[in-house]
């Protein structure tokens, strides 16, 4: 719609009759502006207050807060050390595994629903996927700890045995921890949790591809897969990246489910079958008994997580912008 000034609106009579038209229009634009600013204000407020509360610990540790891998609130001697590198690593690894497993599945489901499925199947398939999103995350955590982790130990042992002689891969698929609670299990649970989000948004995005583009691909003699890679993906690349970013945001912030299945160990290792810890999980585990600088350090972890999410989102936007310029000649 073209933008209209309030004067123009005052000149024309409202469709629904009566003179409330102009007031309503003004109120509406006011309201949307206010809510938009409110969201920004809340974001800024959260950032400022958490940084202020975390300041004692950040000041104490300086840059070591994000570069040190030692997290020792009660050392035998000396001052407490709060280095969050191990938890940044844990968050990154579990989220990465979740993306590697979850995104191909989600986009596959979305493609199936938009391109290949008979129309009658679509409604029920969408409903089932959305139901996955309705399961509370603590239920995922419980299921993971009681059912999945003990089962996966056997899978991990087998994979470890298979890759043991291969140099390089044998350090990624190293000795599995006895309980099964590891980066990998956390990644699997997170993948299951992000599938509904990524699927539903991808589906929306993929359904907006103009039929003309697809027809053109077919007209040039493309097979279905070639049509998808040639006409569907380039058009919807930005939206798909947006969907993946939303899934990643959920994976990085997921607290309870991860804290139950990731193993609770401060650990930096390429071995995905080893236990570790993530930032959100550490905060929820140790916040209750913390005092003073320890509490400040935990809030600092929250700030780091926030900053990490923002950085990744900005990077994603950059990627999308570049891709869209390439595909369409201009960014939307």
Partner 1 sequence: MPAREVGELGRGGLGGGGEPDGTRVSESVHRLFILRVVVGHLSSVASARFKQETMETEKRGKSEVNRKMLSRLVFVGVALAVLAGCGGGNNDNGASSGGGTEGGSGQLKASGASFPDAYYQEVISAYKEKAPDVTVTYNAVGSGTGKKEFGAGLTDFAGTDSTVKPGDGPEEGTFLYVPTVAGPITVSYNLSGVDKLQLSPDTVANIFQAKITKWNDPAIAKDNPGASLPDKAITVAHRSDGSGTTNNFTKYLAAAAPSTWKLGSGDTVAWPSSTQGAEKNTGVAQIIKQTDGGIGYVDFSDAVETKLNLAAVKNKDGQYVAPSLEGATAAVAGATVKDDLTYDPLNASGADAYPITAPTYLLLKTKYDADKATLVKDYVRYLLTDGQPIAKDVNFAALPSGLQQKALAQLDKVAS
Q: Does 115 bind partner 1 (CB under 8 A)?
A: yes
Q: Looking at 178, 221, 330, 332, which residue binds partner 1 (CB under 8 A)?
A: 178
Q: Within 25-64, which residues bind partner 1 (CB under 8 A)? A: none
# binding residues, partner 1 (CB under 8 A):
55
Q: Does 224 bind partner 1 (CB under 8 A)?
A: no
Q: Does 74 bind partner 1 (CB under 8 A)?
A: yes
Nearest CA to 207 among 128, 278, 112? Answer: 112
Q: For partner 1, give the closer residue by CB, 36 or 175.
A: 175
Q: Are 263 and 179 in contact (CB under 8 A)?
A: yes
Q: Within 285-314, which residues bind partner 1 (CB under 8 A)? A: 285-286, 288-292, 294
- Residue found under tokens 């199936």: 112
Q: Does 150 bind partner 1 (CB under 8 A)?
A: yes
Q: Does 90 bind partner 1 (CB under 8 A)?
A: no
Q: Within 226-285, which residues bind partner 1 (CB under 8 A)? A: 259-260, 263-269, 274-275, 277, 281, 285
Q: Does 104 bind partner 1 (CB under 8 A)?
A: no
Say whether 82 sits in a helix, a strand or coil.
strand
- Residue found under tokens 């003309």: 212
Q: Looking at 46, 123, 154, 311, which residue binds partner 1 (CB under 8 A)?
A: 123
Q: Does 221 bind partner 1 (CB under 8 A)?
A: no
Is residue 77 classed exposed, middle or buried when 0-12, 13-18 and 19+ CB atoms within 10 A define those classes? exposed
Q: Does 20 bind partner 1 (CB under 8 A)?
A: no
What are the helix (H) ranges across the chain? 6-11, 21-61, 64-67, 85-111, 119-134, 137-143, 149-163, 169-172, 183-206, 211-219, 224-227, 233-253, 256-261, 279-286, 292-328
Q: Are 224 and 111 in contact (CB under 8 A)?
A: no
The DSSP 8-state label assigned to residue 165 in this structure reads T
Token digits for 189?
């649970």
Q: Does 94 bind partner 1 (CB under 8 A)?
A: no
Residues in the chain: 332
Q: Does 68 bind partner 1 (CB under 8 A)?
A: no
Q: Could you list the residues that contact partner 1 (CB under 8 A)?
A: 15-16, 70-77, 86, 114-117, 119, 122-123, 145, 150, 175, 177-179, 181, 207-208, 210-212, 214-215, 218-219, 259-260, 263-269, 274-275, 277, 281, 285-286, 288-292, 294
């Amino acid at each position: 719609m073209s933008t209209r000034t309030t004067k123009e609106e005052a000149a024309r009579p409202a469709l629904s009759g009566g003179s409330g038209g102009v007031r309503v229009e003004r109120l509406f634009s006011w309201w949307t502006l206010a809510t938009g600013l409110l969201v920004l204000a809340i974001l800024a407020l959260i950032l400022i207050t958490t940084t202020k509360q975390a300041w004692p610990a950040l000041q104490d540790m300086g840059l070591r807060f994000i570069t040190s891998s030692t997290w020792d609130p009660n050392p035998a001697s000396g001052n407490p050390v709060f280095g969050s590198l191990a938890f940044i690593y844990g968050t990154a690894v579990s989220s990465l595994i979740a993306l590697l497993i979850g995104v191909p599945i989600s986009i596959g489901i979305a493609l199936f629903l938009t391109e290949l499925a008979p129309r009658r199947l679509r409604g029920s398939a969408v409903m089932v996927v959305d139901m996955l999103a309705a399961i509370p995350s603590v239920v995922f955590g419980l299921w993971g700890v009681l059912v999945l982790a003990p089962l996966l130990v056997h899978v991990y042992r087998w994979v470890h045995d298979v890759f043991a002689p291969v140099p390089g891969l044998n350090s990624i698929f190293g000795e599995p921890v006895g309980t099964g609670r590891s980066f990998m299990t956390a990644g699997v649970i997170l993948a299951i949790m992000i599938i509904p989000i990524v699927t539903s948004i991808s589906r929306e995005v993929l359904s907006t591809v103009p039929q003309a583009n697809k027809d053109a691909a077919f007209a040039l003699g493309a097979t279905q897969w070639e049509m998808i890679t040639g006409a569907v993906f380039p058009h919807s690349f930005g939206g798909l990246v947006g969907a993946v970013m939303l899934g990643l945001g959920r994976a990085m912030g997921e607290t309870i489910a991860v804290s139950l299945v990731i193993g609770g160990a401060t650990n930096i290792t390429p071995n995905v079958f080893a236990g570790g810890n993530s930032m959100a999980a550490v905060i929820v585990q140790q916040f209750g008994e913390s005092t003073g600088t320890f509490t400040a350090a935990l809030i600092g972890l929250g700030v780091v997580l926030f900053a990490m999410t923002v950085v990744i989102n900005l990077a994603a936007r950059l990627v999308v912008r570049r891709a869209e310029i390439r595909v369409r000649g201009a960014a939307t």
